[in-house]
Amino acid sequence: MDLPRLQAAILIISDTAFRDPSTDKAGDILSDIIAIDGNDQWESTKRDIVPDDVFAIQRTVSQYCDGEDYVNLLITTGGTGFAVKDNTPEAVAPLIHRHAPGLVHGMLQASLEVTPFALMSRPVAGVRNKTLIVTLPGSPKGAKENLQAILRLMPHACQQAAGGDSRKLHSGGIEKLEEDAGVRSNKRQKHHHDDHVHSHDHTHDHGAHVVPKAHTRPEDRPISNDPRAGPTSRYRESPYPMLSVEEAVSLVLAKSPAPEAIHVPVNGSLVGHFLAEDVEANDPVPAYRASIVDGYAVIVSETGLSTKGVFPVASVSHAAPGEISTLQRGQIARITTGAPLPPGANAVVMVEDTVLRSMTDDGQEEKVVEILTDQVKADENIREVGSDIKAGEVVLRKGDEITAVGGELGLLASIGKAEVMVYRKPVIGVLSTGDEIVMHDRARPLQLGEVRDCNRPTLMAAIKGWGFQVVDYGIAKDKPGSLEEHLRNALRNVDVIVTSGGVSMGELDLLKPTLERSLGGTIHFGRVNMKPGKPTTFATVPLKTSDGNPATKLVFSLPGNPASALVTSHLFVLPSLQHSSGKQGRHGLPRMKVQLEEDVRCDPKRPEYHRVSLTYGFNGLLHATSTGGQRSSKVMSLRRANGLLCLPVKEWTAPKGEIVDALLMGGV
Ligand SMILES: *[C@@H]1O[C@H](CO)[C@@H](O)[C@H](O)[C@H]1NC(C)=O
Ligand SMILES: *[C@@H]1O[C@H](CO)[C@@H](O)[C@H](O)[C@H]1NC(C)=O
């Protein structure tokens, strides 16, 4: 019988082989069997490798079975054992439209003749659309035995599955079939033949047994596109569930690493950090008894002897610290505000209560001064040791910010802190993605389709403005290798990566697959119900640091549109960075009420963050003026935007004068 050649594919299911295809042995062996034992009935076999992942398996199986260029036979190898990661039967069984337990039986029986361990395999077999699927074990030996047990029967089964004319196929009876297949059974009794063939035709009686069936289509389940698949097999619609902005922010905060305390020297670099400890004063402030007025240090007798009278001026207390001589009874010493009281003195008389009587011969210093009052009491006009801050007193609390206003830094300095514990601030790497993106300062003029990279400079400026260190990772091309290399490089060196571009449905979305498949990351969300910024994506990637400790790195993949990137960085990246730097209380941009300077249309479907310029109005309110066309690609709308109106989801035009909520992005 002259049968047309059939198309087979081998799907290797193995995490190890997926990472390193050279480790796979089964693929070559199975191809050889098909070529050698296949009776010349098979085209050269296609081959593919997927990890032990139900969704990945299902997607690839569907690709081979659904659509015009289906294969006749799809053989999988691997993942049929009892190990936890062995998922193949669970992945494949729900995809099978018509099960073929006979093939399963045959394979098991063949292997069982070799080893009782054959029973440790859990194969499934059956037909999906027009493709026969058979799952073989992962061991090359087991796979080989199983395939050899059934291969001769496959052309016939595949023909029928593909809708071949069964009467014609069976016209020679079972003997003819066996002959075509090159098999002959010893056990078979002649008079059973036709019955056998007949029942064989009717084994897919729906009432016979319940086939497990998934209720969602695999392509509806959230996992990133396979970058190796062509554009037609990519999702037309994002498979990620739509989160509200609040849900997305909560998720970001929940996944952001806890703040990490570090010891740092007290200097200007502390600004913007949050304290990780209560800070106690080492030394009292002031550290010595000091005058609070300009005047004369005196000795007020406990017996109430008057200070009134004429006194020689013994010393001038602007001497270098440590060199102040003791005041003797009957002397006074000139003293300036804040200067230390000379030893022996116990009060200060204000200069206003005195008269200069005579100068030294050189006319440079006071010699004799008359004190006009006898009302001065002991300790008068003296600031006591520790009257401002006592030694051991807590002056700053854990969680307090060292602000750029400077007061906290000054306080730390005044109590003699050389080092404090603060929370480390995350370091952020920024990169842009896309083949069309070019450096903004490239000398050559733009070619058709090229776009200057404005997101990287914008995002770097914003992040720096929030007070974080930023590292520039340039532009990654839309090639799996380029993107992965950029990301790996950044992951090694920074805590958080912010990318822009390559997450919208229309774009070649390499980011999600690279994060998930190549870097072992988890995508926590890929869609947010907001305008602009819907495709905003957030992922975590587990890593080991150079000292072997586990660490979690965050990746924010923002949309490529400039307005979307700016808005979503403020809404999602900022709170995460604040959280990881130990900021307490509310995270994110400050929210306030502002008054509209013009009518503003709301979006009836998505909460909109409308870029506005906020200015102080005469009525004491902040006034909001739209920065213009709000389409997410509009670069002009970024100019002078220091606020975001939070517009409700409503079929409504908020009128001029209306008070609405706004987020403050920058200074007013
Ligand atoms: C194959 O089966 C799937 C799932 O039942 C179905 O959606 C698809 O249209 C079928 N394709 C063909 C070519 O029969
Ligand atoms: C603060 O001290 C650290 C560590 O010695 C140093 O790296 C940094 O440059 C200093 N910053 C300033 C502003 O002096």
| Residue 226 binned pLDDT confidence (cut-offs 50, 70, 90) | low
User: What average pLDDT does this structure show over 402-415?
Assistant: 90
What is the model's pLDDT at position 318?
58
Q: Which of 129, 130, 213, 216 to mutate to test the pocket of ligand 1 (most atoms within 8 A of CB)?
A: 129
| Residue 200 binned pLDDT confidence (cut-offs 50, 70, 90) | very low
CA-proximal residue: ligand 1, atom 6 (nearest):
66
Residues 79-102 have pLDDT tens digits of 999 888 899 999 999 999 999 999
End-to-end CA distance of the chain: 86
Beta strands per DSSP E along 364-439: 366-371, 382-383, 394-396, 419-423, 427-433, 437-438
The per-residue pLDDT of the chain, averaged, comes to 85
**Residues linked to residue 6 through DSSP beta bridges, in sequence order:** 42
pTM: 0.63
338 lines ligand 1 (CB under 6 A): no
What ligand is nearest to the CA atom of residue 70? 1
What ligand is nearest to the CA atom of residue 96? 1
Contact 457, 440 (CB under 8 A): yes
Write down all domains in the chain, each with its CATH number in brackets.
Answer: 6-164 (3.40.980.10), 242-256+426-580 (3.40.980.10), 261-277+391-423 (3.90.105.10), 290-383 (2.170.190.11), 591-664 (2.40.340.10)
Q: Which of 267, 417, 419, 469 to mutate to test the pocket of ligand 2 (most atoms within 8 A of CB)?
A: 267
129 lines ligand 1 (CB under 6 A): yes
Contact 404, 564 (CB under 8 A): no
Pocket of ligand 2 from Cβ distances under 6 Å: 265, 267-269
43 lines ligand 1 (CB under 6 A): no
- Could you tell me if residue 173 is left (phi over 0), alpha (psi between -120 and 50 degrees) or otherwise beta? left
Indicate the helix (H) or strand (E) that contains 660: strand 659-664
Measured in Å, residue 66 CA sits from the centre of ligand 1 at: 5
Edge-to-edge strand order for the sheet containing 309-316? Answer: 347-350, 295-298, 332-335, 309-316, 366-371, 354-359
Q: Which of 262, 264, 266, 269 to mutate to test the pocket of ligand 2 (most atoms within 8 A of CB)?
A: 269
Provide DSSP, 134-146: EEE-SSHHHHHHH
Cα 117 from chain centroid (whole Å): 45
pLDDT > 70: what percent of the chain? 85
CA-proximal residue: ligand 1, atom 10 (nearest):
66
CA-proximal residue: ligand 2, atom 2 (nearest):
265
325 lines ligand 1 (CB under 6 A): no
Q: What is the CA radius of gyration of the chain?
A: 40
Nearest one of 109, 133, 132 to 121, comparing CA atoms: 109
Measured in Å, residue 28 CA sits from the centre of ligand 2 at: 60
Residues 2-60 have pLDDT tens digits of 556 889 999 999 999 998 888 888 998 999 889 888 878 888 788 999 999 998 999 99
| Residue 179 binned pLDDT confidence (cut-offs 50, 70, 90) | low
| Residue 168 binned pLDDT confidence (cut-offs 50, 70, 90) | low
What is the model's pLDDT at position 199?
38
Residues 488-499 have pLDDT tens digits of 999 989 999 999
Measured in Å, residue 487 CA sits from the centre of ligand 1 at: 37
CA-proximal residue: ligand 2, atom 13 (nearest):
268
C-alpha separations of 594 from 147, 563, 616 in Å: 73, 21, 10
**Residue showing tokens 């969704």:** 55
Contact 288, 341 (CB under 8 A): yes
| Side-chain half-sphere CA neighbours of 326 within 13 A | 3
Indicate the helix (H) or strand (E) that contains 75: strand 73-77
Alpha helices in 562-615 (DSSP H): 562-568, 574-580
Contact 143, 159 (CB under 8 A): no
